[in-house]
């Protein structure tokens, strides 16, 4: 069972890493970019001679790994899933840099013995050589097997005003279908997330899934790529912030449909689904951008 005081006091790994063009291309391939070898706009994300960096790559920069698996945290890690996620880009991401990711647990909520718990994690990513803040990542982890500890003294952190919100009750202004490949999770994990839920059939079955699922952050990246294509004219530097709530997993190889609603200058809401199964996979999405 979770000891809330101990968990909130436990330090998370501080990760410093060198990022190069190969890392940027590998990340893009894990999102399914390049599945159409004739799409010139997409090829710019996988060609080192004209390389553009996916803004959602901040999610794997300075990433502390699957720290929840370590016994010292006292979590039932097999039953942890990604709940909500938000990303704010402060500066365009470089294709070559040494970065440092500093993560910390900023909140913990007990939903009840039968309802699980929520852990809120924040990570700041800094360009070490320039001393500049590149991005801030906020993550909510849903721990399905860890409720009932009482939660004394643990509260959720403040939510950004542009946090998850309901999409408008009107037809979408735009939509795009985004493919993934059957190998998407196996490629995406090479960017640093080695949770066996996404690669090992036995682990997936133990967690209640018929087969390995796509990483939540890979789904986030697929959606982010669609937002850059549709709202930013293919310019990755146009994406300033995005976030939303994960509502169902994507299985590698499925096509994701992204629906968009413009809600003001430089702001839009979005929802992502898998039409083949009739399920929403990411909801309450928000994005801030420049065209």
Distant-in-sequence, close-in-space partners of 71: CB < 8 Å, separation ≥ 6? none
pTM of the model: 0.89
CB 121 within 8 A of CB 106: yes
Res 269: pLDDT = 96
> What is the sign of the dihedral through the CA atoms of 267, 263, 139 and 119?
positive
Q: Is 196 left (phi over 0), alpha (psi -120 to 50) or beta?
A: alpha
Per-residue pLDDT of the chain (291 residues; tens, 9 = 90+): 777 777 888 889 899 999 999 999 999 999 999 999 999 999 999 999 999 999 999 999 999 888 888 888 878 877 777 789 999 999 999 999 999 999 998 888 888 888 888 889 999 999 999 999 999 999 988 887 788 787 544 555 554 544 567 889 999 999 999 999 999 999 999 999 998 999 999 999 998 899 999 999 999 999 999 999 999 999 999 999 999 999 999 999 999 999 999 999 999 999 999 999 999 999 999 999 998
CA distance 200 to 214: 12
CA 190 to chain CA centroid, nearest Å:
15
- Pair type for strands 132-143 and 80-89: antiparallel
CA distance 55 to 167: 23
Strand partners, 101: 15, 125
pLDDT in tens, 217-254: 999 999 999 999 999 999 999 999 999 999 999 999 99
Domains and CATH numbers, the chain: 4-289 (3.10.129.10)
> What is the sign of the dihedral through the CA atoms of 38, 44, 48 and 54?
negative
> Phi and psi (nearest 5°) for 132?
-110, 140
Res 161: pLDDT = 43
Within the chain, where are the H helices?
Answer: 4-9, 21-30, 40-43, 184-188, 201-206, 216-231
């Amino acid at each position: 069972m979770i000891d809330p005081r101990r968990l909130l006091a436990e330090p998370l790994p501080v990760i410093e890493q060198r990022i190069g063009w190969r890392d940027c291309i590998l990340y893009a391939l894990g999102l399914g970019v390049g599945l159409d070898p004739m799409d010139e706009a997409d090829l710019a994300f996988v060609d080192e001679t004209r390389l553009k960096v996916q803004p959602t790559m901040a999610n794997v920069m300075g990433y502390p790994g699957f720290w929840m698996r370590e016994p010292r945290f006292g979590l039932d890690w097999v039953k942890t899933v990604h709940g909500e996620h938000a990303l704010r880009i402060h500066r365009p991401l470089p294709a070559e840099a040494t970065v440092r990711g500093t993560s910390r647990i900023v909140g913990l909520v007990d939903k009840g013995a039968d309802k699980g718990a929520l852990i809120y994690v924040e990570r700041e990513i800094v360009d070490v050589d320039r001393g500049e803040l590149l991005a801030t990542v906020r993550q909510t982890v849903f721990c399905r097997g860890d409720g009932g500890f009482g939660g004394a003294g643990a509260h959720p952190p403040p939510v950004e005003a542009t946090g998850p919100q309901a999409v408008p009750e009107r037809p979408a202004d735009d939509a795009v279908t985004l493919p993934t490949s059957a190998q998407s999770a196996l490629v995406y994990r090479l960017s640093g997330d080695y949770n066996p839920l996404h690669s090992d059939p036995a682990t997936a079955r133990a967690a209640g899934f018929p087969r390995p699922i796509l990483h939540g952050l890979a789904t986030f990246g697929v959606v982010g790529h669609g937002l850059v294509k549709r709202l930013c004219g293919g310019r990755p530097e146009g994406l300033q912030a995005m976030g939303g709530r994960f509502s169902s997993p994507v299985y590698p190889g499925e096509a994701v449909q992204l629906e968009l609603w413009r809600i003001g200058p430089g702001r839009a809401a979005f929802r992502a689904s898998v039409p083949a199964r009739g399920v929403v996979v990411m909801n309450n999405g928000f994005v801030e951008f420049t065209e």
